[in-house]
Amino acid sequence: MLEADNLECVRGDRSLFRDLSFRVDGGQCLLVSGLNGSGKTSLLRILCGLLAPMHGTVRWRGQPIRALGDAYRSELSYLGHLSAVKEELSAAENVEVASALAGRSVPAQAARSALAEAGLRRREDLPVRVLSQGQKRRVALARLLLGGSTLWLLDEPVTALDADAVKWLAGEIDRHVARGGVAVLTSHQDLPLATAPLQTLRLRA
Amino acid sequence: MLEADNLECVRGDRSLFRDLSFRVDGGQCLLVSGLNGSGKTSLLRILCGLLAPMHGTVRWRGQPIRALGDAYRSELSYLGHLSAVKEELSAAENVEVASALAGRSVPAQAARSALAEAGLRRREDLPVRVLSQGQKRRVALARLLLGGSTLWLLDEPVTALDADAVKWLAGEIDRHVARGGVAVLTSHQDLPLATAPLQTLRLRA
Amino acid sequence: MSGINWFRFSSPQSFYPLAAKMIPWFSALAVVFGVIGLYISFFVAPTDAQQGEAYRIIFVHVPASWMSMFLYLVMAFWAAVGMAMNTRLAGMMASAIAPTGAMFAFLSLWTGSLWGKPMWGTWWVWDARLTSELILFFLYLGFIALQSAIDDPRRADRAGALLAIVGVINIPIIYFSVQWWNTLHQGASVSLTRAPSMAKTMLLGMLLMALAFWMYSIAVSLSRARAIILERERHTVWVEELSELNQ
Amino acid sequence: MSEASLWNGFSAAVRRDLLLAMRRKSDVLTTLFFFVIVTSLFPLGIGPETDMLRRIAPGVLWVSALLATMLSLNRLFAADYVDGTLEQMALSAVPLGVLVAGKVAAHWLLAGLPLTLLAPVLGLQFDMAPRSLAVMVASLAIGTPVLSLIGAIGAALTLGVRGGGVLVSLLVLPLYVPALIFGAGAVEADVSGLGSGAHLSLLAAMLAVAGFFAPWATTAALRIALE
Amino acid sequence: MSEASLWNGFSAAVRRDLLLAMRRKSDVLTTLFFFVIVTSLFPLGIGPETDMLRRIAPGVLWVSALLATMLSLNRLFAADYVDGTLEQMALSAVPLGVLVAGKVAAHWLLAGLPLTLLAPVLGLQFDMAPRSLAVMVASLAIGTPVLSLIGAIGAALTLGVRGGGVLVSLLVLPLYVPALIFGAGAVEADVSGLGSGAHLSLLAAMLAVAGFFAPWATTAALRIALE
Amino acid sequence: MSWNSATEFFAMGGYAFYVWGSFGIAAILMAGEMLLVRARRRAAFLELGREIVARRAGGR
Ligand code: HEM
Ligand SMILES: Nc1ncnc2c1ncn2[C@@H]1O[C@H](COP(=O)(O)OP(=O)(O)OP(=O)(O)O)[C@@H](O)[C@H]1O
Ligand SMILES: Nc1ncnc2c1ncn2[C@@H]1O[C@H](COP(=O)(O)OP(=O)(O)OP(=O)(O)O)[C@@H](O)[C@H]1O
Ligand SMILES: [Mg+2]
Ligand SMILES: [Mg+2]
């Protein structure tokens, strides 16, 4: 489904990687690893179309993502180093509002149960500002789960999560892949994934 | 050296912990663990005096830290969830400037070699803005090492660090403790510490 | 005197019922003073020779102006007490007073304008007194806006206290600066002349109305303070018991 | 993408920004207070003569409205950029341009509209005539959306740029000049008996042009900022 | 703490802020441009009669200088707060008050001083007399530090607060009024032959008071913000 | 007593708008403030009740 074809990424005046090609199909998971600064974030941003590669193309279902535009974006969820949660809004409002902006409104009830699953039961109505670092990250993850999209691009999703939450997230990724979805992840920690077809891509700076 | 005496912390209207007492002596390391939102960050901020506890006192060398003031702060280094690096300045400038502000100016050469140790050789003069997430964290750690202070309070220091960097940091903490320093850490990951006297404090929400 | 433990009342828990007992008294006083004051304003005080009946605005305008300034001082006092002694109640009192003070400042501006239109032919002039009252109104609004922009009540109290104290240092500076600024340009372009005979009834009416406003301010700030206590202390046991009584 | 879902996206963006503004009520109010305070500063700096104040009133009110709008510009995208929401909006199934239009509309509802409604009260302080006040309100009603639209471009261009907050004023103020000239000019034209019609229709023409181009330019600028 | 190391801390804070400003040059320049543009907007909004322009010139220049300073306030602490530097400063061995004083001094060097130097050029636009220009510069030279000092309190109070950027103007503008009145008043007093001495010495007295209290209040506000 | 009739009293010598505008707004503002304070207290109690119910249901 997701193909990278001869990608090259240049940041500043250094080429981070070149001739990078891979293919991830439905029901597969790709783990991108590499040292700090090896270009994992840059790769993920290229894959979702936020950053233009120096060379090469990214294809989704055989078509270049530039050509697909909104059609591609409606199938994708991206979670970056930044969690994109609004500190003023409550956790529940955050999830609802973000889903509406992404063009996939969800009923309030669904938002609350996603938050509960993410371990924020009874904190749904607190403003996010007062949540701890890990709790904020969980709000972002709850939003991800609700998206119902086929392609997950997760940049260090387990940052700030405690061991329980890491296990829960790994389970969710497993289920997503088992459902036929595609997941591309980066992480410096080991993720207890059970999915069979796990590819690993190692970037070296 | 560092004693907590019957601490209670209230955030919003929930009491995170109460009657918390412990003592860490020179050459010891305290690992604070707990789920997301259990109050690790709050505890560290109380220990460094940024947050006033609801009840209880923190003592350093037998004296309440409120009374010690600057004298206490001159012996302490704190690294929080935020790295306190200036994106516009280069890594080297960051370290120099931060040390000067902390009241412990260091020569430029020392700053550069600390950065090199932290794995940023040849990136000393790049503006921090273009560094990757993990590299930014390393700049903050380099500053820490230069401080020469007795008490290290590190809140999830390994966030965004790759495996090599985690190992390096653990080694540095070991050396600090071996030198007779005190370290208080939080982390959701296992740290490969070799130090013998490692206490663990588990907060539960 | 020394038998009463004043410190005891600085806890919200004991203050809450105490305030409940005081509110009816102050309300009653406000009504009594108000009724007599209004009677004097409308039925005892004679018509002014130059201004006709319009001058009767003075009976609400001047007391409102006085209260607006006085309440700022009271607010700053509580704020300072809260900062110095770290008592929760003082901060709550300061936030309870601010809206009432702002209301009186607005009232002073409004009634002043309504007075100015028939007297000076314009709703507003940039005269020293008017201008400094306007700035006082802004200071109140700043205090309220700052507090409402901060969620954590402890932080809101302390930030507001600091602002109120800075403001109180500034009020005399502002007052004199505006006076100076203005007198340079124009002399006493407007002055209220009144027959000496009526000065006494007028003063009495103004005083009574001022007393009424004062009592009103106390009553309303106390009950606002009670509401604030309920909001902030809702997780304590005593409030929970209290709400059971109420249900 | 269907028209209905475009509309949904637009209104989601508007509603979200209004919700955020409700949460930080002080945000909306302070734009207004700023307007009030700045207009009041001028008499303090210039002196209290009613005659002169009446003459400079339209200019002062328009300049203050312009500054107030401009100051509220940095809350248009900056917060969303810093916390990653803008990234997510760029990756939304709804075209970014639609979301941007929604945000600009919300900005006008929260800044331009209240300013327009408040202006007559301040005009009284300057002793303006009722008729001038009416022209003033009309010119602000047409002019403030132009300010929001053009301002959005500036806000987007300065995102994540060092010192953006002040840079935006540098970019945007020159573009605001025509709106200012025609807006304040309308009142003066009316006073001098020339009739404000011509000025107001020029202002309306500017609104049409800005409404057409600005969301597009803003979207382009946002994509650059996100690279 | 020894006096020498206090001084070192102060100068480290000044030098750091100047260094940061060098990196984002646009920051300093835009404060200036804002000043220039706002003063130039007035003739556009008000009309070109020289006579009136000359009369309103001191007021307009002072109000613009005040707004320009105020706008640059949010870069005083906000960035340091967001990235955690302020936390580190509060934990420094150097007392926070000293570092704050250093930051305020740097702010004046980067905002107030350039404005003061630029003012005479703009005054010429308004056809001000050379003598008035000199008084104007003197009043700005004494007055702008007051603006930086008082502004720092407001900037510290609104740190991390919702809608801080505009809230700061609401808090600070009323406190700026005396400086504005005496500053702009000095020029007018000189023109009307009363002599500007009294105004300027009152301004200087305000500077003394602010210099004494403001760093203390700012430090207290910062500690509150960091809780 | 200077008033001959109620109409004369309400006319206030031609200044009715100004005088009653002042006293009226004062009355409205004060009454409004009292209502607002009462509403705030009510809201606090409602919130409290809701929370207590939730606390009992959810255990703590
Ligand atoms: C918006 C307009 C006005 C404002 C903000 C205003 C403000 C004030 C303030 C603050 C005071 C109390 C000052 C003190 O006690 O020293 C006051 C008193 C007074 N005002 Fe006004 N005023 C306004 C308009 C007017 C007008 C139009 C008049 C009369 C034509 C007027 C007549 C008076 C009088 C007679 C007093 C009492 C002075 C005294 O007791 O010494 N005011 N006003
Ligand atoms: N504008 C730029 N100029 C120069 N170098 C840049 C620029 N932008 C990024 N870089 C460099 O690109 C590299 C890749 O950064 P990226 O964020 O992709 O790394 P990463 O693999 O995600 O690292 P981490 O694990 O630390 O998050 C870094 O070394 C960084 O210094
Ligand atoms: N002002 C506040 N009002 C209400 N709750 C608050 C407030 N500030 C913090 N909290 C709560 O306090 C708890 C402790 O937060 P803290 O940041 O100390 O947790 P932590 O142990 O560091 O978590 P993490 O591992 O996620 O970093 C959180 O549950 C948070 O929701
Ligand atoms: Mg990365
Ligand atoms: Mg934490």
* Average pLDDT of the residues of chain A: 89
Q: Where are the alpha helices (DSSP H) in chain E?
A: 3-23, 25-46, 50-72, 74-82, 85-90, 96-107, 113-125, 130-157, 164-191, 197-226
Contacts of A40 in chain B (CB under 8 A): 132
CB contact under 8 A, B84 and E20: no
CB contact under 8 A, D92 and A85: no
Nearest to A133 by CA among A161, A91, A95: A161
- Identify from C233, C235, C236 which residue to disrupt to test chain B contact, counting B C-beta atoms within 10 A and taking the largest count: C235
Residue D50 CA from chain centroid, whole number: 29
Residue A182 CA from chain centroid, whole number: 10
Q: How far apart are CA E147 and CA E168, in angstroms?
A: 13
Which residue minimizes the CA distance to atom 2 of ligand 3? B12
Question: Mean pLDDT throughout A4-19?
Answer: 88
Q: Which helix (H) or strand (E) holds C10?
A: none
CB contact under 8 A, A156 and B138: no
Please tell me if the CB atom of residue A11 comes closer than 6 angstroms to any atom of ligand 2: yes
Q: How far apart are CA C220 and CA A149, in angstroms?
A: 55
Question: Mean pLDDT throughout A132-137?
Answer: 91
Q: How far is CA D106 from CA A105, C244, D20, D180, in A?
A: 19, 44, 11, 22
Residue A28 CA from chain centroid, whole number: 14
Q: How far apart are CA B186 and CA B194, in angstroms?
A: 16
Closest chain E C-alpha to B102 CA, distance in angstroms = 4
Which residue minimizes the CA distance to atom 31 of ligand 1? C112
Q: How far apart are CA A141 and CA A200, in angstroms?
A: 22
User: What percent of chain A stands above pLDDT 70?
Assistant: 99
Evaluate whether D156 touches D89 at the Cβ level (below 8 Å). Answer: no
Please state whether beta strands B151-155 and B182-186 pair in parallel, antiparallel, or not at all (unpaired): parallel
Q: What residue ranges of chain C have pLDDT lower than 70?
A: 1-9, 183-198, 243-247
Contacts of A127 in chain D (CB under 8 A): 23
Q: How many CA atoms lie within 13 A of E189 on its CB side?
A: 21
Residue in chain C closest to A88 (alpha carbons) equals C151
Instruction: Check CB contact of D23 with chain C, cutoff 8 Å.
Output: no
Contacts of F41 in chain C (CB under 8 A): 223, 226-227, 230
Contacts of E213 in chain C (CB under 8 A): 166, 169
- Which of C107-111, E84-88, E106-110, F48-52 is the least confident region? F48-52
Q: How far apart are CA E139 and CA E137, in angstroms?
A: 5
Around ligand 1, the residues with Cβ closer than 6 Å are: C 58, 61-62, 65-66, 108-109, 112-113, 115-116, 119, 129-130, 133, 192
Evaluate whether A23 touches A2 at the Cβ level (below 8 Å). Answer: yes
Q: Identify which has the larger pLDDT, E128 or C128.
A: E128
Closest chain E C-alpha to C91 CA, distance in angstroms = 14
Mean pLDDT by 10 residues, chain B (205 residues): 91 84 92 91 92 91 91 91 88 91 88 92 88 91 89 92 91 92 90 79 81
Q: How many CA atoms lie within 13 A of E163 on its CB side?
A: 30
Q: How far apart are CA F48 and CA F37, in angstroms?
A: 16
Q: How far apart are CA E58 and CA A17, in angstroms?
A: 60
Q: How far apart are CA D214 and CA D97, in angstroms?
A: 10
Length of chain F: 60
- Look up residue B200 and give its amino acid: T
* A205 contacts: CB under 8 Å, gap ≥ 6: A16, A34, A35, A37, A38, A39
Residue where the block lists tokens 């004693």: B3
Please tell me if the CB atom of residue B163 comes closer than 6 angstroms to any atom of ligand 2: no
pLDDT above 70: residue F60: no
Q: Where are the alpha helices (DSSP H) in chain A?
A: 40-48, 65-68, 70-73, 91-101, 108-117, 133-147, 163-178
The per-residue DSSP string of E106-126 comes to HHIIIIIHHHHHHHHHHHHHT
Please state whether beta strands A182-186 and A151-155 pair in parallel, antiparallel, or not at all (unpaired): parallel
* C44 contacts: CB under 8 Å, gap ≥ 6: C201, C205
Closest chain D C-alpha to E58 CA, distance in angstroms = 7
Phi, psi at C156, each rounded to 5°: -60, -40
Length of chain E: 227
pLDDT tens digit at each of 227 positions of chain D: 678 888 988 999 999 999 888 877 667 777 888 899 889 888 888 888 888 888 888 889 999 999 888 888 877 888 888 888 898 898 888 899 999 999 999 999 999 999 999 999 999 888 888 889 999 999 999 999 999 999 999 999 888 665 555 677 778 888 888 899 899 889 888 888 888 888 999 999 999 999 999 999 999 999 888 87
Evaluate whether B121 touches B91 at the Cβ level (below 8 Å). Answer: no
Taking only the tens place, the pLDDT of each residue in C67-76 is: 999 999 999 9
Q: What is the pLDDT of residue C3?
A: 43
Counting Cβ atoms within 10 Å, is residue A134 exposed (0-12), middle (13-18) or buried (19+)? buried
Q: What is the pLDDT of residue E136?
A: 93
Beta bridge partners, D205, equal none
Ligand nearest to the CA of A136: 3
Residue where the block lists tokens 């607005």: C106
Q: What is the pLDDT of residue B88?
A: 85
Q: How far apart are CA A131 and CA D223, in angstroms?
A: 31
Q: What is the pLDDT of residue A69?
A: 84
Q: Indicate the pTM of the whole model.
A: 0.85
Length of chain B: 205
CB-nearest to C186 from D30, D48, D53 is D48
Q: Where are the domains of chain C?
A: 54-187+197-246
CB-nearest to B35 from A11, A37, A162 is A162
Q: What is the pLDDT of residue A56?
A: 92
Ligand 3 atom having least distance to the Cα of B39: 18
Ligand nearest to the CA of A40: 2
DSSP state of A90: B
Please state whether beta strands B28-34 and B182-186 pair in parallel, antiparallel, or not at all (unpaired): parallel
Residue in chain C closest to A128 (alpha carbons) equals C151
Beta bridge partners, A184, equal A30, A153
Phi, psi at A152, each rounded to 5°: -105, 125
pLDDT band at E11 (very low <50, low <70, confident <90, very high): very high
Q: How far apart are CA A64 and CA C11, in angstroms?
A: 68
DSSP state of B42: H
Q: How far is the CA of C230 from the centre of ligand 4 (A)?
A: 47
Which residue minimizes the CA distance to atom 31 of ligand 2? B131
* Average pLDDT of the residues of chain D: 87
The token duo for D104 is: 């600009």
Q: What is the pLDDT of residue F38?
A: 93
Cβ contacts of D152-155, under 8 Å, gap ≥ 24: D152/D73, D152/D76, D152/D77, D152/D100, D152/D103, D152/D104, D152/D107, D152/D214, D152/D215, D152/D218, D153/D214, D153/D217, D153/D218, D153/D221, D154/D73, D155/D73, D155/D74, D155/D76, D155/D77, D155/D78, D155/D218
Nearest to A86 by CA among D29, C150, D84: D84
Ligand nearest to the CA of B17: 3
Evaluate whether D26 touches E164 at the Cβ level (below 8 Å). Answer: no
Evaluate whether C99 touches F33 at the Cβ level (below 8 Å). Answer: yes
Q: How far apart are CA E190 and CA E199, in angstroms?
A: 10
Q: How far is CA A112 from CA A109, C14, D8, D85, in A?
A: 5, 39, 22, 20
Touch of E by F (3+ CB pairs closer than 8 Å): no
Taking only the tens place, the pLDDT of each residue in E93-106 is: 889 999 999 999 99
Q: How far apart are CA D47 and CA C178, in angstroms?
A: 11
Q: Which helix (H) or strand (E) holds A22?
A: strand A14-24
Please tell me if the CB atom of residue B132 comes closer than 6 angstroms to any atom of ligand 2: yes
Taking only the tens place, the pLDDT of each residue in A26-73 is: 889 999 999 888 999 999 999 998 888 999 999 999 999 989 888 898
Q: How far apart are CA D120 and CA B147, in angstroms?
A: 60
The token duo for D159 is: 């995102």
Q: What is the pLDDT of residue F58?
A: 55
